[in-house]
Structure 1
Amino acid sequence: MNKESLFVCARSDEPFSILTIDPVSGANCLAFQGNELQNGTINSATFIGQDQTHLCISLEDKSLMTIPMKYKKSKKTLAANSTRSFIGFKANFIVSHPSGDFIFVAADNKIYTWELRGGNMLSIIDEHLREISAFRISTCGSLLASASMDGAVKIWLTSSLISQRNQSSHICSQLGGHSSHTLEVNDLYITSSGMSARIFSVSADYSACLYSLATNQILLKITCDHPLSACCMDGAERRLFLASINGQIRTIDLMQSELPKDSFQRMKVENEQIDNNTENSFQFHNSRIQQLCANLDGSRLASGDSSGAYAIWDVTNGQLLQNGTK
Structure 2
Amino acid sequence: MRKRLLITLTTARGSRQLSLNLIARCLLLLFVLMLLASFFISNALLVKTSDELHSLTADYQKLGSLYSGVLGSHETVRTELDKLSLNLASLEQERNSLEQVNQAWSQPLRQLELAMGLEPAEKMTIERSQLLQQMANERLFMLHGIPNGYPVKMKRLSDGFGMRNHPLTGQRKHHNGVDFPVDTGTPIYATADGAVEYAGYHKKSGFGYLVIINHNFGFKSYYAHMKKRPKVRSGQLVRKGEQIGQSGNSGKSTGPHLHYEVRYLFKPLNPVPFLNWSLHNYDQIMTQEKAVAWDGLKEMQPLNQLALPLLSSPEGKSSAAK
The bucket for the TM-score relative to the shorter chain is: under 0.3
Larger relative strand fraction: 1
- When normalised by structure 2's length, the TM-score is 0.20
- When normalised by structure 1's length, the TM-score is 0.20
Q: Which of the pair has the greater relative contact order for Cα pairs under 8 Å at 6+ separation?
A: 2
Q: Which one has the largest radius of gyration? A: 2
